[in-house]
Amino acid sequence: MKIAVLGGLGLQGRAAIADLVASVGVEQIVCVDTAADGPARLAGLTDLARVRFVVPEGAIGPALATVLDDVDAVIDLLPQPLMRQAVQAAIATRTPLVTTNYAKSIADLAPAAEQAGVSIMTECGLDPGIDLVLYARAARQFDSISSIDSYCGGIPEPKAMAKPLCYKVSWNFDMVLVSQNRDSVMIEDGKRVAVPAGQQHDNPFIHEIEVAGLGKLEAFPNGDALHYVEMLDAAKGLRRSGRYTLRWPGWSAFWAPL
């Protein structure tokens, strides 16, 4: 099997390539990135014998289509603004695609993907992704659910914290910034409650939770809880739900004035 990794030299892309190299059945990994020094960037991380490096030239859409025409599947880890072009190239070449990004911005491409008979699997990261798998797994264990909350966050260990944010970039910093100005939808007392982006770090839903081995972490709204719980049959009578990001305490106090 040949797998292309779009954005293969990024923080997530390099990890994906290392995993693919260790995967049985993957004969070749195509690392697609704009940097010309791919082998040097991956040197020492993994065995590069089965990794082929491609630097796309010209318009991004046709360039991606040329690459995808010669692989069995593709992992899209490009910056979110390029997601649409990656998906369009996958549809044009009938190449199954997996991406960590939200589906909303490309929902209109679903009919074209269906007509082409190609699978486009979105939201396959940690959040959204693994959290949604846990949602469904938990829901299957209950006849009904009255409350369900999702907490997710990447934080540095205490000795690595740097004030004032007490945070280290572990993925795409542009998206870290974008996620600090995101509308959220909660469910409280069985009713839909909208938290506009401007109030994301100044609202009554911000709270702290105690995590064993870590201590107190701050949770703030970050996403549309209603969108996902509506997919769960066991959650029809839901009274409360929220999607929260976790950070060390003080995060919202820093961002609120901004």
The per-residue pLDDT for range 68-127, each reduced to its tens digit, is 999 999 999 998 899 999 999 999 999 999 999 999 999 999 999 999 999 999 999 988
DSSP secondary-structure letter at 159? G
In the block, which residue shows the tokens 């692989």? 71
pLDDT at 243: 96
As a whole number of angstroms, the distance between CA 187 and CA 163 comes to 33
Domain boundaries, the chain: 2-121, 130-255
Q: What is the pLDDT of residue 172?
A: 72
Check whether 171 has a pLDDT greater than 90: no
CATH superfamily of the 2-121 domain: NAD(P)-binding Rossmann-like Domain (3.40.50.720)
Instruction: Report the percent of the chain where pLDDT is more than 70.
Output: 100
Strands 215-221 and 240-247: antiparallel
- Taking only the tens place, the pLDDT of each residue in 188-232 is 999 999 999 999 999 999 999 999 998 999 999 999 999 988 888
Q: What is the pLDDT of residues 47-67, one digit of tens each?
A: 999 999 999 998 899 999 999
CATH of 130-255, one of 3.30.360.10, 3.50.50.60, 1.10.287.40, 3.90.550.10: 3.30.360.10
Count the alpha carbons within 13 Å of 25 in the hemisphere toward its beta carbon: 2
244 — pLDDT class (breaks 50, 70, 90): very high
If you search the block for the tokens 């949602």, which residue do you land on? 135
Q: With b meaning 16 or more CB within 10 Å and e meaning fewer, what string describes 103-128?
A: beebeebeeebeebebebebbbbebb
Residue 245 is encoded by which pair of tokens? Answer: 């990001």
Name the more confident of 258 and 65: 65
